[in-house]
Every structure is written in structure tokens, then in C-alpha cells.
Amino acid sequence: MDRIRVLVVDEHRIFAESLATALSAEADVEAVALGSVPAARQLLTRVRAGAHPPFDVLLLDAELDDAVEPGAEQPALLTWVAEGFPTLRTVMLAASDEPAAAARALAADARGWVAKDSSLARLLRVIRGVLRDETHLPPALLTGVLRELQADRRHRGERERLVESLTPRELEVLRCMLAGLGRKAVAERLYLSPHTVRTHMQNVLGKLGVHSTLAAVALARRAGIPPVD
């Protein structure tokens, strides 16, 4: 029998370990518990290097994940997983039902949203369901999530129009910002002076209508702009 390997990441370590133990009691499930996003990144990096067996499902604390509030210089965990582990399905573990947060998670390629107080049987149905390429949401959340996704689609069009107002060089600078490069690193990469890079960054913020690098990065990510390699 093929075993389902589950990675549980929750800042409440006792909860994560208890859940992993309960899941591992199933004959076809093997679960590992971690307490932070950095620890998950490290373990999954070792998985990608072939130093660890691959995981099938990631159960991620919705309050812990940096993808729920995009804008961090480091790629959000859901984005990072979607890009580097296309066969790994992510399910959010939530303390409460929040349509906006659930919609953002689904837009970042999460496959489900499950309450932390759900029964083990319910969680196992979701785990097995996402492995069949199903998407699982509580029925009470469905209307709110659809409304949020429709609103985001309208806003994405507005964000795309703002990005289209950038010059090619400004877009290059923005993509460097998306990769987390500072002013000096951008200058070296694009063979520009730090002063010129500073001017381009100010122009980017002005055209996007934001007041910080983090806000510009968040807007660009939501508009689908890729970082530089």
C-alpha cells in the first residue's frame, strides 16, 4: 500500500505534533510535524535535493503562512511550494473561517481550507480528496470566497494597467525588487549607478501608487509579475 506523506506546519507545536500522531495512526498515512515556516522551507529544500522522501500534502497553519499577507521580500511559502513542488498539495488549517484569507490562499494555489477543530475523519477526507485534485472548502465559506475572487479579478486588471505604465527599465527594477534585491544589488545586476536605481525605484512607487517597496512587491505579485532569476 502506498503511504500518504503529510507535513504539518503549525506554530502551536503541541497541536502540530498531536495532529501528526493522530494522522500517522492511519495505516496509509505518515505525518511529520514542524512549528515554523523557516523549518518547513529547510526540510522541503532537503526533500528537493533528494535527501528526504517527498511529501504529498502540506497542512499549513493559515495564521502562520506568509502567503496570506503577501509583500515579504522572501517568496511566500505557498508560492514557493507551487513553483518548486508542483505535486505537493497544500491545505490551510484555520482557527476561523475568513473568506478574504481563504480566497488569497486559494489564489496562491492552496487546495483546501479546513477548520482546526474539524474531526480527524473530515481532515482525512480532505487529504485524500486533494490528492484526487479536488478543492475543499466549508460550504459556509463558498459564497464569500467566490465574491472575494471576483473582486480580486477586477483589482488584478487595475494592477495590470498600473504595471503596464512602467518603462522597460522600471519593470526590470521591479522584477529585481520582487527577487528581494537591494539597491546596490540591483545596480550591479543592471549595470546602473545606485543613484539611477534609486530614481527608478521612486518612479516605480509613484506609478504604482504605493509608498513602500513592500507594497510595490505585493502589488506586482498580485499582478502576476515574475521576479528575475
In a domain, 152, yes or no: no
In a domain, 154, yes or no: no
Percent of the chain clearing pLDDT 90 (strictly above): 51
Indicate whether 117 and 187 sit together in one domain. no
Entry pTM: 0.66
Region for 133 from its dihedrals, namely left if φ exceeds 0, alpha if ψ lies in -120 to 50, beta otherwise: left
Backbone φ and ψ of 54, nearest 5°:
-70, 155
Confidence of residue 155 (pLDDT cuts 50, 70, 90): low
Rounded Cα–Cα distance for residues 122 and 118 (Å)? 6
In a domain, 114, yes or no: yes
Indicate whether 18 and 113 sit together in one domain. yes
Strands (E), 73-130: 89-94, 112-115
Indicate whether 39 and 115 sit together in one domain. yes
Q: Per-residue pLDDT for 204 more than 80?
A: yes
Q: Per-residue pLDDT for 66 more than 60?
A: no
Mean pLDDT, range 54-69, rounded to an integer: 79
Cα 50 to its chain centre, rounded Å, is 23
The CATH number that applies at residue 171 is 1.10.10.10
DSSP 9: E
Cα 110 to its chain centre, rounded Å, is 8
- Pull the grid cell for residue 207: 506609478
In a domain, 228, yes or no: no
Percent of the chain clearing pLDDT 70 (strictly above): 89
**Residue range(s) defining the domain that contains residue 123:** 4-145
Which positions ≥6 away from 128 have C-beta within 8 Å?
A: 4
Rounded Cα–Cα distance for residues 132 and 102 (Å)? 20
In a domain, 155, yes or no: no
pLDDT of residue 65: 65
Indicate whether 121 and 185 sit together in one domain. no
Indicate whether 36 and 131 sit together in one domain. yes
Mean pLDDT, range 91-115, rounded to an integer: 86
Cα 46 to its chain centre, rounded Å, is 19
Among 99, 115, 145, residue at a domain's last position: 145
Angstrom distances, CA of residue 144 to CA of 98, 141, 154, 198, 210: 8, 5, 16, 41, 27
Backbone φ and ψ of 89, nearest 5°:
-90, 135
In a domain, 229, yes or no: no
The CATH number that applies at residue 8 is 3.40.50.2300
pLDDT of residue 68: 46
Q: Cβ(163)–Cβ(210) under 8 Å? A: no
In a domain, 227, yes or no: no
Indicate whether 141 and 207 sit together in one domain. no
Q: Per-residue pLDDT for 183 more than 80?
A: yes
Indicate whether 9 and 111 sit together in one domain. yes
Number of domains in the chain: 2
Among 110, 145, 180, residue at a domain's last position: 145
Mean pLDDT, range 66-89, rounded to an integer: 70
Sign of CA dihedral 68, 114, 61, 89: negative
